[in-house]
Structure 1
Amino acid sequence: MITSNPGADQMAIRSTPTAFQLQAALLAGRVLDTAGNSAESLLVSYDRLATGGLYRSQDLQAGHRLLERAGLVKTTPSNHIPTPELNEICQLPDDVAAELLLQELLLREPPLWLYAAVVDDEVRWENVPEADQNALAQLLADAARREAILLTLGRTLDAALLAERGSLGEEFVVQLCREHLQQRDRPDLAGTVRRVSLRSDQLGYDVTSPDTTGQRHRMEIKTTGKASTGRVEFFLSRNEATVAGRDPAWSLVAVSRDKDDNLDLIGWCPAVHLVAHLPRDISTQGRWTNVRLSIAITDFTPGLPLDNRSENGVR
């Protein structure tokens, strides 16, 4: 029976798999039938697999556990079933397959050093443990390729983190809008506040809410870290910028999130405060799609745009 080895598995989680371990995982994956295998049949296959003496049955079992950790093998009480992704990976040349397997594992179990190593589109190798650097060098001899993979992993993890933060920030603003209306004796309008991003992320805004007069406002929510520098930093897509420039009821609402996941409303700003900071296309052969903006916190009006915009005569 294929059993876990807690000590070895925990050590593997803390360090980047070596080229040897990744190759053992690929060999184990290629033994699997698409319909699945019992644990007993897998052990027999591992014992009989011809590897020229390079890999023992124990190595292949460890490789199998690595595939499970990467989410590429689904295990039931009676069966071990490869995912379609694993079947595709196993059909690739060894070097490409090992690289993809490494990426799958590091995305599913990102090591803590990865967050410190990839900062602002730069790899800070001094933050990568020596053992992990050696494992990466074994698999990828080209230094530029190693750096490109870490940058890709870092961006993917950042995108996932931004999505998580964004979701929390949007729900936070929805609740604030409802409370704002309820406190002003408009529970009827509070019930019409909607987080439209749950339906589509292509509308150019995330939350729609009326003010106390019933006028509808459309808000793009950006959740960021504490604005300790006096500036608010966030990413804005071209679509969001286009909608902002054409919709007078559009506004950007900024929310801060601290290390303990506490949320706080920074304020809001209209599109006019963003236009001057947007990039320009300098060629007909290229168009910008996303931009990272850094806006002074003084450009944000405290509170929500709702009644503030009406009181200020903004329509």
Structure 2
Amino acid sequence: MPVPPDPVLKAAVRWLEHLPTSEVTRTRALFISYNAFGDLTPTQYSAAYDWLQKVGIIDTSGRVISPSPQRSELFEAAISGTLWLADADVLVSSTTELPEDAMRAANTLGLSPRQALALVRHSWGKVDTAERHRIGSAGEHALMKLLSDATSATVRHMAAESDGYGYDISVETPSRSIHLEVKTTIRRGRLRIYLSRNEFETSTQDPTWVLTVLRLSHDLQPLAVATVDRDWLLAAVPADQTLGGRWESARLDVPPEATSSGMHPMVTSLLTSPVPILVGEPPWPG
């Protein structure tokens, strides 16, 4: 959904200024009847009202849902449907890189470029958190099915039981157990993962802990599997700077040379069916 046109955003501001103290019919009549509001058309006021309902700022009766909606809330709603927002962490690193539609909305709403940049980052954070959860869950379930179909070992979804294990999937035989931490992406050109402190500390204490990455298509179908090199991981995580502080979550950009296509040999040795994706066919994209 594109950013609403400037007149619609301007009309939205006026709706939010008047609706808390006046009913919808009276406010609409005010906009149409008074010359002070005549710079916008009735159609633009109607479009703004419909948009405010669509993005959840007012309810179906015209009641403002937020107790005191700010222009920042309008800005975040305006950019929420843009195609670039999902990649804003890469595309927008400074005010000079703000997309044209974001700058236009900021100007209309009286926000500075610095405020707009902060709101873009805040909006991206909310979108990214929800998207990572959706994709991560899909990846874990997809790998569970691939492994269950390819081995007679017991495959357990540990993350469904608790997030305290430090890994997501356990592959168990009577004589051994392999612990897989699963990271999932739908991006082809870049592999960015988030590692918790618990996951990292588990990796240092558990020799059977393996960091596995799964690439899914946009419709969440498995495309490729790779294993991240443990030595690279240990060197890449941040170091605690003082005894009084420590990192709890790290964002890591994994280079192609730190991955190898397919599951770890500990896992492939247990496969009873030659599933190509699990042994690195097709190879992980470089």
Post-superposition Cα deviations, 1:108-164, rounded to whole Å, max 9, x if no partner, equal xx21244566526614856723x5423312324422222222222233323333333
Q: Does 1:27 align with 2:27?
A: no
1:118/1:124 contact within 8 Å kept: no
Distance in 1 between residues matched to 2:228 and 2:32, nearest whole Å: 66
Q: Give the percent of matched residue pairs that are identical in Structure 1 and Structure 2.
A: 20
1:219/1:253 contact within 8 Å kept: yes
Gaps of 5+ in 1: 1-12, 33-40, 91-96
**Which residue number in structure 1 is paired with residue 49 of structure 2?**
64
1:225/1:258 contact within 8 Å kept: yes
Distance in 1 between residues matched to 2:168 and 2:36, nearest whole Å: 55
**Which residue number in structure 2 is paired with residue 238 of structure 1?**
197
Distance in 2 between residues matched to 1:204 and 1:121, nearest whole Å: 33
1:217/1:249 contact within 8 Å kept: yes
State TM-score, norm by structure 1: 0.67
Q: Does 1:207 align with 2:207?
A: no
**Which residue number in structure 2 is paired with residue 9 of structure 1?**
none
1:257/1:264 contact within 8 Å kept: yes
**Which residue number in structure 2 is paired with residue 175 of structure 1?**
145
Match of 2:24 among 34, 42, 48: 42
Count of matched residue positions in the alignment of Structure 1 and Structure 2: 265
Deviation (angstroms), 1:68: 1.1
Identify if the C-alpha distance between structure 1 residues 22 and 285 changes in structure 2 by more than 3 Å, giving closer, same or farther: farther
**Which residue number in structure 2 is paired with residue 249 of structure 1?**
208
Distance in 2 between residues matched to 1:196 and 1:82, nearest whole Å: 45
Helix, strand or coil for the counterpart of 2:25? Answer: helix
Identify if the C-alpha distance between structure 1 residues 176 and 24 changes in structure 2 by more than 3 Å, giving closer, same or farther: same
Deviation (angstroms), 1:64: 2.8
**Which residue number in structure 1 is paired with residue 3 of structure 2?**
15
Identify if the C-alpha distance between structure 1 residues 297 and 116 changes in structure 2 by more than 3 Å, giving closer, same or farther: closer
Post-superposition Cα deviations, 1:193-247, rounded to whole Å, max 9, x if no partner, equal 333334544542222332x436333211111356668xx5422222221222223
**Which residue number in structure 2 is paired with residue 111 of structure 1?**
82
**Which residue number in structure 2 is paired with residue 5 of structure 1?**
none
Gaps of 5+ in 2: 272-286
1:268/1:305 contact within 8 Å kept: no
Distance in 2 between residues matched to 1:219 and 1:45, nearest whole Å: 59
After superposition, residues 238-277 of structure 1 pair within 5 angstroms as 238-258=197-217, 261-269=220-228, 271-277=230-236
Distance in 2 between residues matched to 1:126 and 1:270, nearest whole Å: 34
Specify the code of the residue in structure 1 equivalent to 2:2. R
